[in-house]
Amino acid sequence: MIEDYFNSNVVWKKSTGTNAYDEKTYENIDTPCLKIDKIRLTRNKLGEQVSSTSTIRMKNEPGYDDMLDDRTIITINSMNGLDGIEGYEVLI
C-alpha cells in the first residue's frame, strides 16, 4: 500500500562487513522510495540533536551502518499500520 506513493529511487548501500583493511564494504541496491527534501531537527542514535536534510520512506528496513545515496543514516522510524509495520522512515 505504501508503495503507491513512491516517487523516486535511492541507492541503498547495504553494509556487508569489513575487508582485509578493516574498511566497511557495501552492496549497492536500487530501492524505490518516497523522498522528501526538508530540513528537520532530530536526535541520532546517541541522543544528540542533529539536523536532517531529507526524509526517505521505504519498504525495507536499513541499518545504521548502511548508507542511502552516499549519506549517513541518522534515525530510523517504523511506520505502523493496521497490518503491522508497513515501512520505514529514514532521516539522512
What is the reported pLDDT for 56? Answer: 96
Name the domain count of the chain.
Answer: 1
Instruction: Detail the DSSP E strand segments found in 1-92.
Output: 8-18, 24-43, 49-58, 67-68, 71-72, 75-81, 84-91
What is the reported pLDDT for 2? Answer: 83
Which of 37, 35, 33, 36 has the alpha carbon at shortest distance from 4?
33
Q: Which domain holds residue 56?
A: 2-91
How is residue 30 written as a grid cell? 536500487
Digit-by-digit pLDDT tens for the chain (92 residues) are 788 899 999 999 999 999 999 999 999 999 999 999 999 999 988 999 999 999 999 999 999 999 999 999 999 999 998 888 889 999 99
- Distance between CA 69 and CA 53 in Å, rounded? 12
In contact, 34 and 4? CB cutoff 8 Å: no
